[in-house]
Each structure stands twice: as C-alpha cells, then as structure tokens.
C-alpha cells in the first residue's frame, strides 16, 4: 500500500527549497510541490501554529523562530506531498499514533545535515496528515488551494472522512 505524507519546507538560511526537495525525491515519489506565499509575520506565525499545534510544539522558541525567519530568509514556504510505499509503522514512539519509520528517519537525516530542526516539517502519521489537510483547506494563503486536491490526497488514509 502506498501512503502519502506532507512535508513543509520553511524559509531557512541552511539550504534552499530545491535542494531539500531533491533530497525528498531521492528517497520518495513526489506527487505535488507547491510554493505558498507568506507575506507577513502574522501569516507565517499562524501557519506554523496551525501545523505544530497538534504536536504541542508551538512554544516560545517556535514563535521567535517564525518572526526571525520571515525577515531573514524570504516569504516562501514549500509544501510537498510525497508517497511512501508500504511504510513501516511503530506505535512505541507515540501511544496515540503509529509513526512511519521511513519518514521519521528521513527527517532526522535532513535535520542533522542542516543542524537545525526547523528546516523541515513532515507528517509521519495519519493524524498529522488529517490535520494538515484541514490547515490547508482553511488557509487563504496564495498556493494552498493547489495542495489538497483529489489527485494529491488520494493516498492519504481517511482523508475523505474530513469532508
């Protein structure tokens, strides 16, 4: 079974979006890649808050990071929908969700290369996939309307139950 996941590439001085997308393409099949325009700090902060809220990770550190990144590193966030064939799930990492080990391993590798956790966000379980579908469907940021489409989300488990 092929399952789709989301990756969000934040504005970051450590590397450009094309480099990071190529790293994803080396490991997984990319279904879609969309650049989202973020014009204000408030828009970037709200997008980050929406994405990280399910994990309880939108801390003071993230808020400061959001403010700094927009002014230093541009106004684009790239969202990539990618596929993992037959993911291996591990429930021991999270009692609430099974975590796709291929995605978790990939995120760790990318973050270690760029020496920062905030270069990439990638969903690694069904709960986070559902949440990002909701975030992008509610967003009025330019580009988000091209992320959640039937073609891009057909491999997301249980997404149809959101509609």
Residues 54, 127: Cα–Cα separation, whole Å:
9
Give the helix/strand (H/E) hosting 63: helix 60-73
pLDDT in tens, 120-158: 888 888 888 888 888 998 888 988 888 888 776 666 655
Sign of the CA dihedral with 76 first, then 55, 20, and 28 last? negative
pLDDT at 116: 61
pLDDT beyond 90 at 80: yes
Domain boundaries in the chain? 2-162
At 158, list the tokens: 């249980």
Q: How far apart are the first and last CA of the chain?
A: 23
Q: Give the predicted TM-score (pTM) of the model.
A: 0.83
Looking at every residue in the chain, the average pLDDT score rounds to: 79
- Cα separations in angstroms, 29 against 60, 82, 110: 35, 5, 17
Question: For residues 81 and 113, which has the higher predicted lDDT (pLDDT)?
Answer: 81
pLDDT at 83: 92
CATH of 2-162, picked from 3.90.180.10, 2.40.160.10, 3.20.170.30, 3.30.70.141, is 3.30.70.141
């Amino acid at each position: 079974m092929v399952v789709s996941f989301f990756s969000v590439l934040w504005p970051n001085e450590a590397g450009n979006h094309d480099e990071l997308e190529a790293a994803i393409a080396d490991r997984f099949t990319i279904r879609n890649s969309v650049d989202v325009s973020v014009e204000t700090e408030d828009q970037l902060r709200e997008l980050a808050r929406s994405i990280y809220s399910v994990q309880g990770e939108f801390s003071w550190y993230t808020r400061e990071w959001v403010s700094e990144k927009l002014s230093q590193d541009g106004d684009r966030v790239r969202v990539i929908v990618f596929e993992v064939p037959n993911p291996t799930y591990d429930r021991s990492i999270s009692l609430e969700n099974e975590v796709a080990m291929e995605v978790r391993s990939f995120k760790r590798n990318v973050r270690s290369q760029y020496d920062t956790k905030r270069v990439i966000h990638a969903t690694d379980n069904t709960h986070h996939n559902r949440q990002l579908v909701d975030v992008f469907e509610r967003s009025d940021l330019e580009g988000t309307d091209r992320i959640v489409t039937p073609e891009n989300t057909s491999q997301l488990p249980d997404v149809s139950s959101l509609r």
